[in-house]
Homo-oligomer: A and B are copies of this chain.
Amino acid sequence: MKYSNFFIPTFRENPSDAKIKSHVLMIKSGMIKQEISGIYSWLPLGFKVLKKIIQIIEDMHESNGINQILMPTIQGSDIWKISDRYDTYGKEMLRIVDRNDKELLYGPTNEEMITAIGKHFIKSHKNLPRHFFHIQSKFRDEIRPRFGVMRAREFLMKDAYSFDKDEKSGEQTYERFFRLYLRIFEKLGLKIIPVRAPSGEIGGNLSHEFHLLLETGESKIFVDETYLKKNFSDLKISEIKSINSFTDELYESLNINQSLIHLKSTELGHIFLFGTKYSKSFDFKIDYENDKIFPYMGSYGIGISRIPAAIIEASNDDKGIIWPKEISPFDIVLINLTSNNENTTSFCEDLYAKLKVNNYDVLLDDRSERPGIKFSDADLIGIPIQIIVGKNFVDKKEIGVKTRKDLKESTVSSENIIEFLNQMKI
């Protein structure tokens, strides 16, 4: 992609209304624009990151045999009255009346709708287990939207739902999702602490949240100190149930008398095994041998549009964002420092084509801007590798390769650049 044709409206000044680093940097790097309070547009650079995250989450769900569907954003009030959550959900639910005076709402979550889908189609335990996920906009009318996409009103969520024939099978499913979540966050380059959580609004008695430790986080969790270096990915359901870390709320309600460390964090995922709560309220019964049973259900959410902000919060310096390679919008930014010079320009065009052939996703900075602007934009938008083509190329056929993380620059002969990059294993 050429910079001249990829819209990245960067700003030099800090936005006045942004209070945390990720919000500041997402605005300055032209990733997002607030439309109204808590509602954002994702601009090309921001959307490219979001899409990479979506792709990883989709692929990992699919390869785990979870079927992707798409439920609508707008729901009828009727199904929420069946579950008795229409009144209790409160003001966070965005309520709507259509032209025929029918009560609608913008879905804050989909337990009711997936239960109605299950009841419509699933008639026998032979059809179980079934696991579904979708990635769809949600709306929660937060009283105080803040911190950019970290706490927005309209946001993108991956929510999955499971139907099993009984508690044992449901717990196996829960264990699978627990492990899948840890692998997803690992793939996203995020070190996550799973904590036991109350099930609150959703219901049931088994629930965990997945937290990223962040000084600027809005949550606080109580963590067993040994967990800071623990690998959780092989836990069995019995070990998952007895995890020795807790959300604030659960810690207090359980009256835990143990020395745990109290850390600030941000919640990125939340899973629930709520059992027969919704299948019972929907009278959703299936055949099981000579009997009728209520399917055992769970739900599993990841706050997708919060993830880019969380990653930036965890990975930045005073010059800007430092993207982990897995979700960086590009692999390389190729900076032509002297775009009015025919030599560097034709070299950069050739190298750009060669890099693409070698499967690198490259942003070619072909703008007629001053070198200072190009350097500061490259540092700000945080692509892991910068290739710098300027005076040294004209004089000595040498180019610079800078890694964004440590800002270290190597000088490389222009002939050896592809080989050099391949050896870096970016």
Contact = CB atoms under 8 A, between A and B. Distances in A.
Interface in A319-378: none
Contact of A47 (B35, B69, B72, B117): B69
Given A68-B47, A120-B33, A39 B143 contact: no
A124 to B, nearest CB: 12
A94 interface: yes
Interface stretch (A98-106, A190-198, A283-291): A98-106
A67 B43 CA distance: 9
A153 B74 CA distance: 10
A74 B130 contact: no
A76 to B, nearest CB: 4
Interface stretch (A2-10, A219-227, A248-256): A2-10
Given A7-B130, A74-B106, A113 B69 contact: no
A51 B43 CA distance: 22
Contact of A73 (B6, B70, B132, B154): B154
A69 B44 contact: yes
Given A67-B7, A154-B74, A99 B143 contact: yes
A96 interface: yes
How many copies make up the complex? 2
B36 A76 contact: yes
A41 interface: yes
Interface in A117-137: 117, 120-122, 130, 132, 137
A60 to B, nearest CB: 16
A65 interface: yes
A180 interface: no
A282 interface: no
A74 B41 contact: no
B39 A74 contact: yes
A292 B35 CA distance: 25
Contacts of A72: 35, 39-41, 137, 154
Contact of A102 (B36, B96, B132, B154): B36
Contacts of A237: none
29 contacts: A6-B67, A33-B120, A33-B121, A35-B71, A35-B75, A35-B116, A36-B76, A36-B78, A36-B102, A39-B72, A39-B74, A41-B69, A41-B70, A41-B117, A44-B132, A47-B68, A47-B69, A48-B68, A50-B70, A72-B137, A73-B137, A73-B154, A74-B94, A74-B106, A74-B139, A74-B153, A74-B154, A91-B99, A94-B98
